[in-house]
Structure 1
């Protein structure tokens, strides 16, 4: 999955195959921008505002439109913009989108390259594209699933990761894990243990660790086989938010959530913002309401997509999230 997605993002326009929340409605990015403004006050001045997997730059443009007003109204609101992007094609699109916004933007290949200092990181539909591993419980024991010549291949596995071996599964059940996602969260947490920071992860996935496979491929907005023609389709898998939160807390951070995307956006004022947009552009009312429904509707993105906040130990609570940290909410 990892190599296939690297080839995919390097050679294709991914937004021909799928649409993310910022592309659906400006409401999403504006509300996340307002959320960032509040969090920046908790972090103090000279914040590194970071987006990983920034796509065409649409989310950052909408965020900065809100944050520009925040900077104008607060003498202590100082931040720099950093985008973590490896695709030259997408970097070019981001530069074009952000031109004229009035902010200096730096690009990095890896999040570790972002200069030291307080960090506010936003990752929308980023973790779902990171590589996964799949394990199958067979009658003979655990096996790991690979792809060879367009077919699944099962190989016996003696060194099964603990998070797999501890699952209560039936024969032929599949367990997915994403070591790459865990490693990314741990890297962020390591930084947050030294310097104040907050990371907001929004993605589609589960609030608890589940059994079953979720790998899927999209080409031209239609499901296709994940086994055929690697590098020509977008490969994604559900994010296990419980595993992400567990990894972050074990590494010394605090976590809030996960909460459903619909609940988060409602609490941040999505409905009210839609009403204001409709009042300003009555001819666009249908489009605005359709976009809002896709973002917060329980049968659309509102329930399937979740949000998790990872923070330094001394920051919180955060807007739109429970006051209790992850692990203490029951």
Structure 2
């Protein structure tokens, strides 16, 4: 088996696969207020295309797959997709990122299909604020979904918290306290300038050092821990707490040098780097393993060492503009 490496020698064994660009929320950092025109059904990868694509990747050494969206639980065949991916030889870990609104109804079926891990987006515990951030979501549905999933012995449940200045950065302590009695990993994530005007992003960006400060102010003793998985977070556990917390800082402390992932959009493009516009259409090549591999390797050969350096590598980056896609159209 010839595995996938980029020009910097980074092994790529992890695929993030968006199975839909549709979402039932309009989160302020993910989608414009007016929403987005969603792809017609025939433009989105079919279930059979998805499975064949993963079979191709498995033969290239990929062993970890994360299902993303939009909101992946909106696809009526999501359970079948997960079951079939889990049955592919060589795939060892299948996870999903969801907003959690349908999780209470689908958690048991997802577990039975073989889903290993869950990431749930949750930026606040306050009902009114949640409704404002998501432009219409119900926090009670999400919390119900987390409780339902917590009873099913998934390998790990992570809560994704995008910190935005003046919006939810006053709730860090609430999230830390949540790990006292809940065996989850709360991941604080820096707000990224993807699909957002730079001026707005600079105004709303907040670093993650404040998390440690709040721990110290509340006499929380914490230690670094190792968590199995594919995430780029630095993880810690507060003494005596059941859960843990993690920090994902793509802006202040870039993790690009260890990047091992490729992203496949719902309409069948591979993006080797989340931030830049460069992407290659691989949909037509899915039935042709040789051509499929050629295109994937081409994408990796063009992958920059990190997103900040990309602008300096003019000969390497084909399209040096930031991605036109919103986060909901990439899958994070």
Common fold: TM-score over 0.5: no
TM-score normalized by the length of structure 1: 0.33
**Which structure's residues are more often helix, by fraction?**
1
**Which structure's residues are more often strand, by fraction?**
1
TM-score normalized by the length of structure 2: 0.33
Larger radius of gyration: 1
